[in-house]
Amino acid sequence: MDTANCTPRSGRRASTTHRPRPQYSLAAATRTMAVATLVSRITGFLRQLALAAVLGLGVVNDSYTVSNTLPAMLYEILLGGVLTSVIVPLLVRAAKEDPDRGEAYVQRLVTVAFVALSAASVLAVVAAPFLAVLFLGTGEDANPQLATVFGYLLLPLILFYGLSGLFGAILNARSVFGPPAWAPVLNNVIVLVSLGVYALVPGEISVNPARLSDPKLLVLGLGTTAGIVAQALVQLPGLRRAGFHFGWRWGWDSRLTQASGMAAWFVVYVLVGQLGFVVTTRSAAQGDPGGVVIYSLVWLLLQLPYGVLGYSLLTAIMPRMSAAAADADWRGVVEHLSVGSRYLIVVLVPITVVFTLAGEPIGVALFSLGKAGSNAERLGAALAVSAFGLLPYAVTMLQLRVFYSMADARTPTMINAIMVAVKLPLLLACPVFLDDADVVLGLTAANSLSLVVGAMVGQTWLRRRLGRVET
């Protein structure tokens, strides 16, 4: 439901009926997730360092990066952000309204999601050659054949990405934040072990031709697969402790129609975003080799402080904002938004300054190991020119969660469309007007500029919806 015309401003209450708020400490929940996310981001960063060291920052890592990104991207289109942004508010409402605290609703949701994700996994494997060409192109610095072979091993992970995200959403809606936050740590550890095995296997990955039977390729592909499977399954004990009992339930709950309507908008949101991703990867592949993985690693570095210091807060605050919105307590929604905004400014502005001033030394210090050294300085320069997008990104993510808490999935999609519309011409211009070595710098800067625009648009539309807000 779009609430654009029915949501009162913050100075008025639309309802005098108050339901109980979630009984958990926001500070404690944020602290729990911050510790887990810190460990997760550190191990994830070590994983990327290890990948860069053993694969280099060239064609092989580009192919692996695209193939490893595809299942996560397709999962996002089908279910990913829908879970955290759309489904969590609906689960909170079902727990408030249903005699069984939403048990049947969740079981139907899991059943529908399992079927959809399984079908998507099969279709994606069949379409692996097409997807590889779509994202990498066929230029001399691209190897879609190698990406296709990686894809055959990694695309079935759509199902397990989905299960992991769904389990985490169910736990978050029940104010249980630990298991979903710690699960990626196990994934990263498994992949790190597989990279150690990879380094011990003699020889190099066969690039031309690429072979599914290649021992090193199998170690890397199956190790990545095992990590995501473990990330999903390790959350099952937490679900049982939270009181969730799974059972196949094939009926249809009318509230799934509301979820479907909101999810449809989110699918459009993700598709629009993936249009930007496709253009980004193809543009990066037109520059010097390694552009795709450099762009990915710069984004990872920007995500590290946001993931530890920002995402933890947003995940903890989402059930509270959803509960306030369910009570039509718009003053409460604004208060949560203001607290989150001030927190993000305090913790992320100093990090932005450090990344801007010391981007190149950071890149050289972190990525000069093994085969990655030749491109480390270029990676650091890309970090420096794009660091200004860190705070706008975090603020935009907070703004979007406010809209989702009000069961409005249309406005975030419109904001994303505006950001992509700003970014696309800049992405296309980079390979035309910049030297090959500088293409990735232009791409990262264009992405950050679009995030600034998104934060400005989100601020304007929230002010129209809720009155005076502080973001």
Task: For residue range 42-75, list pLDDT tens digits in order.
Answer: 898 888 888 888 877 676 777 777 777 778 777 7
Higher pLDDT, 418 or 1: 418
According to the model, what pLDDT value does residue 450 have?
96
Residue 170 in any domain: the answer is: yes
- Predicted confidence (pLDDT) per residue in 111-131, tens digit: 888 988 899 899 989 998 888
Q: Where are the alpha helices (DSSP H) in 290-329?
A: 291-305, 312-326
According to the model, what pLDDT value does residue 442 have?
95
Residue 380 in any domain: the answer is: yes
**pLDDT greater than 60 at residue 299:** yes
DSSP assignment of 228-249, as one string?
HHHHHHTTHHHHHHTT------
Helix, strand, coil percentages (3-state) for the chain, rounded to 5, are 80, 0, 20
**pLDDT greater than 50 at residue 8:** no
Handedness of CA 397, 401, 402, 407 (dihedral sign): positive
Closest by Cα among 263, 243, 274 to 424: 274
**pLDDT greater than 50 at residue 89:** yes
Cα gap 214→206, rounded to integer Å: 7
**pLDDT greater than 60 at residue 330:** yes
56 close to 372: Cβ distance less than 8 angstroms: yes
Q: What is the extent of the structural domain holding 208?
A: 26-466
Phi-psi region of 203 (alpha: psi -120 to 50; beta: other; left: phi over 0): left
According to the model, what pLDDT value does residue 169 have?
81
Mean pLDDT throughout 409-433?
94
> What rounded mean pLDDT belongs to the chain?
80
**Residue 317 CB: number of other CB atoms within 10 A?**
22
Higher pLDDT, 208 or 338: 338
What are the structure tokens assigned to 18, written together? Answer: 């108050």
Helix then strand count (H, E) for the chain reads: 19, 0
Cα gap 228→145, rounded to integer Å: 24
| DSSP code at position 372 | G
Closest by Cα among 304, 284, 423, 287 to 355: 304
**pLDDT greater than 80 at residue 307:** no
What is the domain count for the chain?
A: 1
Residue 74 in any domain: the answer is: yes
Cα torsion 79, 85, 86, 87 to 10°: value is: 70
Exposure string of 318-356, with b = 16+ CB inside 10 Å and e = fewer, is: bbbbbbbbbbbbbebbbbbbeebbebbeebbeebbeebe
What are the structure tokens assigned to 265, written together? Answer: 């908008």
Peptide bond into 209 cis (omega under 30): yes
Higher pLDDT, 210 or 39: 39
333 close to 371: Cβ distance less than 8 angstroms: no
Closest by Cα among 224, 230, 170, 231 to 55: 224
Q: Quick one: 116 exposed, middle or buried, by C-beta within 10 A (0-12, 13-18, 19+)? A: middle
Residue 4 in any domain: the answer is: no
137: three-class secondary structure by DSSP: coil
**Residue 278 CB: number of other CB atoms within 10 A?**
16
Cα gap 295→215, rounded to integer Å: 28
Residue 17 in any domain: the answer is: no
Residue 3 in any domain: the answer is: no
Cα gap 66→137, rounded to integer Å: 11
**Residue 416's pLDDT band (cuts 50, 70, 90):** very high
Cα gap 89→106, rounded to integer Å: 12
In degrees rounded to 5, what are phi and psi of residue 231? Answer: -60, -35
222 close to 153: Cβ distance less than 8 angstroms: yes
Residue 13 in any domain: the answer is: no
According to the model, what pLDDT value does residue 122 have?
93
Percent of the chain, pLDDT > 70? 81
Cβ-Cβ contacts under 8 Å for 466 (sequence gap 6 or more): 7, 9, 10, 330, 333, 334, 337, 402
- Predicted confidence (pLDDT) per residue in 232-289, tens digit: 999 999 888 888 877 787 766 666 666 666 667 877 887 888 889 889 988 888 877 7
Residue 11 in any domain: the answer is: no
**Residue 25's pLDDT band (cuts 50, 70, 90):** low
65-74, 106-115, 430-439: the lowest-pLDDT one: 65-74
**Residue 9's pLDDT band (cuts 50, 70, 90):** very low
- Predicted confidence (pLDDT) per residue in 332-387, tens digit: 888 888 888 888 898 899 999 999 999 999 988 887 766 555 678 889 999 999 99
Higher pLDDT, 176 or 258: 176
According to the model, what pLDDT value does residue 1 have?
38
Closest by Cα among 103, 102, 106, 95 to 19: 95
